[in-house]
Amino acid sequence: MILTDLDPSTVRPKINELMTKLFQNIPSGVGSKSKLRLSLNELDDAVRSGAKWAVEKGYGIVQDLERIEENGCMADADPRAVSDIAKKRGAPQFGTLGSGNHFLEVQEVSEIFDEATAKVFGLEKGKIVIMLHCGSRGFGHQVCDDAIRVMVGAARKYGIQLPDQELCCAPLGTPEADNYLKAMNCAINYAFCNRQVMTHWIRETIDQVFPAQKEQMNTSLVYDVCHNLAKFEEHEVDGKRKKLCVHRKGATRAMGPGRSEVPSLYRSTGQPVIIPGSMGTSSFILCGVDSAKETFYSTCHGAGRVMSRHDAIRQFGQSNLKQQLEQKGITLRATGTEIIAEEAPQAYKNVDDVVKSVAQAGISKIVARMVPIGVAKG
């Protein structure tokens, strides 16, 4: 999430221009290719160093790194553990949004639930923010595919009985597990870099569309948080501190106040937690709380689907979703009608109910609600 000093009265008259330029400046879609041209050696450097690599190349500012989970770099990332196929898939996609549920949204902060925390996060009611959701693209997908083939064999090798092949695994400390963790950390760092590069292009686009505000514009990063990964962390189990490997699949970290993993500027409040809805509904920003230790400081990472992509395309493929969204005041840019159909708001759970349940369960605290006024989908 990126802050701006803009308000809807300034943005709405230019929303078509803004969304068109964002769509042009940030490549989107299944086969999208980056404006960058990275050699494989440069890619190795990037996935070893994470967002710091991007900042050093001029894509962002040093202060961004303080507002990224792990400061934008997972240690023990080793490009030698990544296949050439993954690198060849990843290099051309570096700095691209991708497809599926990945998105870029221009949003208005419509409601503040926790004034004190919102102030720390820099959020004000009626201001415009930018929310970006994307990951490690084909690079991470290939890292996973490569590992599954290895892990199926490893499970047999180590005598692990699998109820389902999709649960293939290897014991920690084995060569198979060690190599996977090194490759996975590279994929995480790829995602950090990917979002950092696009954050830079978002800032450039805002300056292009709103040149009068350029000198005074605040486009600080609120936070960059991950999901779909495994991390080694210390947690309390049966009254004792233990080092655990926490897998967050379809979940995001929600560290509470005082945890050393939380950036110092957010340590008094707990880390920001970003929960998107769908392209036609609200999104939320929450914060981590102490009681989230019951879930190893984890919460959901989005509204979640209630309908498969195939079913959504079949049901909404011939509908006029774009016009329906525009009637609600949401300007949409997408690569095709199929992606609009599969990401139809009706294919997702009610995000208000999801977030309310998270708050009532004591997993995270609601800070603010945002509503979309412009959406870019791959």
Tell me, yes or no, whether 260 lies in a domain: no
Region 257-267 average pLDDT: 95
Residue 277 has pLDDT above 70, yes or no: yes
What average pLDDT does range 27-36 have in this prediction?
A: 74
User: In this structure, which amino acid lies at residue 206?
Assistant: I
d(CA 313, CA 302): 20
Indicate whether 29 pLDDT > 70.
Answer: no
- What does the alpha-carbon distance between residue 116 and residue 244 come to, in Å, rounded to a whole number? 33
Q: Which pLDDT score, from 0 to 100, does residue 30 have?
A: 67
Q: What pLDDT, on the 0 to 100 scale, is given for residue 18?
A: 97
- pLDDT recorded at residue 215: 83
- Cβ atoms of residues 339 and 313 within 8 Å: no
Percent of the chain with pLDDT over 70: 99
Provide the pLDDT confidence category of residue 37 given band limits of 50, 70 and 90.
Answer: confident
pLDDT mean across residues, the chain: 94
Let me know: does 333 contact 223? Beta carbons within 8 Å.
no
Contact 34, 92 (CB under 8 A): yes
- Sign (positive or negative) of CA dihedral 297, 302, 304, 309: negative
Establish if 140 belongs to a structural domain. Answer: yes
Cα–Cα distances (Å) from 18 to 11, 146, 201, in that order, read 8, 39, 12
Tally of domains within the chain: 1
Residue 214 lies in a domain: yes
Q: Is the pTM of this model over 0.85?
A: yes
Enter the tokens of residue 322: 């774009």
Tell me the DSSP string of 230-253: EEEEEEEETTEEEEEEEEEEEEEE
**pLDDT tens digits for 127-175?**
999 999 999 999 999 999 999 999 999 999 999 999 998 899 999 999 9
Residue 21: name the closest of 192, 193, 203 by CA.
Answer: 203
Residue 134 near residue 195 (C-beta atoms within 8 A): yes
- CA neighbor of 88 nearest in space, from 45, 144, 44: 44
Type and span of the H or E element at 31: none
Q: Of 102, 104, 112, which Cα lies nearest the Cα of 284? A: 112
Please give the Cα distance from 113 to 96 (Å, whole number). Answer: 33
Residue pair 230/247 in contact by the 8 Å Cβ criterion:
yes
Pairing relationship of beta strands 364-377 and 331-334 according to DSSP bridges? parallel
In a domain, 11, yes or no: yes
Percent of the chain topping pLDDT 90:
89
Q: And the tokens for 35? A: 């404006």
Q: How many CB atoms lie within 10 A of CB 158?
A: 13
> Is residue 285 included in any domain, yes or no?
no
Residues in the chain: 378
pLDDT by residue (tens digit) across 229-240? 999 999 999 999
| Catalytic residue annotation | 301
C-alpha 233/C-alpha 213 separation (Å) is 42
Is residue 162 helix, strand or coil?
Answer: coil
The answer to whether residue 194 is domain-embedded is yes
Other C-beta atoms lying within 10 Å of the C-beta of residue 2 = 22
For 303-342, write each residue's pLDDT tens digit: 999 999 999 999 998 789 999 999 999 999 998 888 899 9
Which residue, 318, 321, 229, is CA-closest to 278?
Answer: 321
Cβ pair 270, 255 in contact under 8 A: yes
Q: What is the pLDDT of residues 174-221, one digit of tens each?
A: 999 999 999 999 999 999 999 999 999 999 999 999 998 888 889 999
How far apart, in whole angstroms, are the C-alpha atoms of residue 17 and residue 11? 10
Question: Is the distance from CB of 194 to CB of 134 less than 8 angstroms?
Answer: yes
Structure tokens belonging to residue 157: 């090798």
Token pair belonging to 6:
């803009």
Residue 86 resides in a domain: yes
CATH of the domain at 30: 3.90.1860.10
| pLDDT grade for 362, boundaries at 50, 70 and 90 | very high
pLDDT at 333: 93
pLDDT value of residue 261: 94
- Judged by phi (left if over 0) then psi (alpha if -120 to 50, else beta), residue 132 lies in beta
- C-alpha 371: how far from its chain's center? 18
Domain that holds residue 65: 1-98+134-224
- Section 81-99 average pLDDT: 94
Q: Does 74 reside within a domain?
A: yes
> What is d(CA 47, CA 31) in angstroms, rounded to the nearest whole number?
21
Residue 61 burial (CB < 10 Å; 0-12/13-18/19+)? middle
